[in-house]
Amino acid sequence: MLSSNAMRAFSTAIRGRPLHVAVIGSGPAGFYTAHRVLKDIPDVKIDMFESLPVPHGLVRFGVAPDHPEVKNVMNKFDEVATDDRFTFLGNVHVGGKDLPLSALKSNYDAIVFSYGASEDRRLIVPGEDLQNVYSARSFVGWYNGLPNHRELMPDLDSTDTAVIIGQGNVALDIARMLLSPIDVLRKTDVTDYALEALSKSRIKHVHVVGRRGPLQAAFTAKELREQMKLPGVRFSTDVQLLQSEIANGAEYLNKSRPLKRLMSILEKEIGSPNMLSGDKSWTLDFLRSPSRIIPDSTNNNVAAIEYELNRLDGPAESRRAIGTGQFVTQDCGLILRSIGYKSIAMEGIPFDESSGRVPNKYGKVLDGENEVPGLYTAGWLKRGPTGVIATTMNDAYETADTLAADFVAGKPFLNEVDGVGQKTGSQGLLQLFKDNKIRPISYVDWKLIEKMEFEAGQKIGKPREKFGRVEDMLAVLSTEDLKTSM
């Protein structure tokens, strides 16, 4: 890799101007890519576009309120934003009619697509659209203040039983939110309206349901331990299945330490006081595939869920669920499907519908076998909607390094077949913003919004009280105060 000085001299000699990079999405993938590109290429200008007025993606709207330590990455993102080569443009959605991707393509040398996964996978069973059947994405968005789901208003006081379909960390986050003592949640940044609903919740029993067996559970040890420590919450599961799967899978477990640790946490619970007492309960149900959701007498609300029972087939490391033709029904008044998030296509870039990803090689967008000059991708959009922030950081760094290597190798960027051309980044978009009444929110503006959130939180002993509506976020900033940082 070139030294900073050599890189700067190289850049200026070739272009006579900075490299203009647009980053779409301000989650971890966007920020970590920006961080590394700023480090790799001194003569660069980065504009980060974000649909919402507020940054940080799922760190703000996904990570559970009782995991404040995870949110410390925001401090790192704040550092990135203080670099004077970086500009945040919140409240600017890319890809719609107001700001089509083509406008970015003509004003930037490179575009990094890191807009995450804004939809979710469905069960595709009858009854899925009944009242009180939600995706984990909307339920998590609701308690975390995502404006789209602010008005979800799940009914938590007409039932004592909730079913969560899926056995990953998001499922356990939700189970914990439903079963935690309300006084614990009061000290977190959970939104005030969600806290109010949770304080009146009658839900006492939460079933966390999977198609296959214990060895296929996708949650991790930390989240499982937290779940086991919830006060007054009894744990139950099919002990016989657990024991036989652990015994039959011994060889496989010896090769996978994290899974072995997970199984030993579950095994330790067998016969423990945690399985014997508690007013509330959580259950790990295995070998069940939802076949239909059954309405109540009004035909509007969920009353029960029906499963087909499965048996397991194949070796321990790749067990398959085979339907047995036997069905069971579980009464419940709330169903949350937590079977995965899903990215959506943006017009103007290749997208693989079957994998839900932008095809890429080390982060460089591919059209068939061919690299597309100037287009890159990072994060959940690049590798699919799985993995924690650390995984996202590593793949964002890979994308940034690919971009920097292309730069050093003198590969063409966007519209550079006939020379580097004139690119001015967001300066070239000002007229479009004006014409389409787009009001970009700068990072300084965001810090003002955040300051108000801290102040509101402090008054009631919470780290922050989030604004849950876009208009409330914007109201913090009077029109005169709106700084576009451009």
The CA distances from residue 314 to 213, 215, 250, 382, in Å, are 12, 12, 15, 31
What is the smallest separation between the CB atom of 129 and ligand FAD, expressed in angstroms?
22
Q: Binding string to ligand FAD for residues 27 to 46, with x set by CB under 6 A, is what?
A: xxxx----------------
Q: Binding string to ligand FAD for residues 307 to 346, with x set by CB under 6 A, is what?
A: ----------------------------------x-----
> Does 81 contact ligand FAD by CB under 6 A?
no
The span from the CA of 403 to the CA of 376, in Å, is 7
Stretch that binds ligand FAD, among 90-98, 257-265, 347-355, 451-459 (CB under 6 A): 90-98
Type of residue at 467 = F
Q: Which of 77, 88, 115, 134 binds ligand FAD (CB under 6 A)?
A: 115
Stretch that binds ligand FAD, among 23-31, 152-160, 229-237, 449-457 (CB under 6 A): 23-31
Judge residue 323's burial from the number of C-beta atoms within 10 Å of its C-beta, 0-12 exposed, 13-18 middle, 19 or more buried: middle
> Does 302 contact ligand FAD by CB under 6 A?
no
Stretch that binds ligand FAD, among 48-56, 79-87, 311-319, 352-360 (CB under 6 A): 48-56
Nearer to ligand FAD, 93 or 411 (CB): 93
CB-CB contact of 486 with 472 (8 Å): no
CB-CB contact of 331 with 346 (8 Å): no
> Does 114 contact ligand FAD by CB under 6 A?
yes
In what side-by-side order are the strands of the sheet with 110-113?
A: 86-89, 44-49, 19-24, 110-113, 370-377, 364-367, 360-361
Nearer to ligand FAD, 144 or 237 (CB): 144
Binding site per annotation, positions for NADP(+):
167-170, 211-212, 223, 387
Nearer to ligand FAD, 412 or 428 (CB): 428
In our burial notation (b when 16+ CB lie closer than 10 A, e otherwise), range 133-144 reads bbbbbbbbbbbb
Q: How far is CA 237 from the centre of its chain?
A: 29
How many chain residues touch ligand FAD (CB under 6 A)?
A: 35
Q: Which of 77, 139, 380, 467 binds ligand FAD (CB under 6 A)?
A: 380
Residue 485, classed as helix, strand or coil, is coil
Contacts of 67 (CB under 8 A, 6+ apart): none
Q: Binding string to ligand FAD for residues 387 to 416, with x set by CB under 6 A, is what?
A: xxx--x------------------------
Q: Which of 8, 67, 260, 342 binds ligand FAD (CB under 6 A)?
A: 67
Nearer to ligand FAD, 40 or 47 (CB): 47
| Segment 415-419 long-range contacts (CB within 8 Å, at least 24 positions apart) | 415/105, 415/106, 415/374, 416/109, 416/373, 416/374
Q: Which of 170, 209, 253, 473 binds ligand FAD (CB under 6 A)?
A: 170
In our burial notation (b when 16+ CB lie closer than 10 A, e otherwise), range 446-455 reads bebbbebbee
Nearer to ligand FAD, 49 or 282 (CB): 49
Contacts of 458 (CB under 8 A, 6+ apart): none
CB-CB contact of 143 with 177 (8 Å): yes
> Does 65 contact ligand FAD by CB under 6 A?
no
Binding site for ligand FAD (CB under 6 A): 24-30, 49-52, 57-59, 62-63, 67, 70, 93-95, 114-116, 118, 140, 170, 173, 341, 379-380, 387-389, 392
